[in-house]
Structure 1
Amino acid sequence: MRKIYQISVSLFLCLIIEEKIPVIFHLKNKISYSSLIVYQMETEKQILFLGE
């Protein structure tokens, strides 16, 4: 459970950092950013599963 919490925090930090990255890097990171969102959705599913 603690590991999932750490993953959530690191994803949240990535989202904050993403906002501060210049536009030049934004397009380059868009693919990895999309995969981050997918990864976050998967993590949330795991949290819901563990919560039951």
Structure 2
Amino acid sequence: MTALLNACGQDCGTCIQISFGEVEGKDVCRIRVSPSPRPVYIKDGQDEYF
């Protein structure tokens, strides 16, 4: 969660839900993202992506 919030902004925390489960004996991380009320740009090093 910390990595996601650092990349897209702390205020996006309410739009992101993370849950864990098991599928066919393997651990799975599910990330659900709701629409944001503002445009969100993801930082990747020096680059930003919409």
TM-score range, shorter-chain basis?
Answer: under 0.3
In terms of fraction of residues, the more strand-rich structure is: 2
- With normalisation by structure 2, the TM-score equals 0.27
In terms of fraction of residues, the more helix-rich structure is: 1
- Which structure has more relative contact order (CA 8 Å, sep 6+)? It is 1
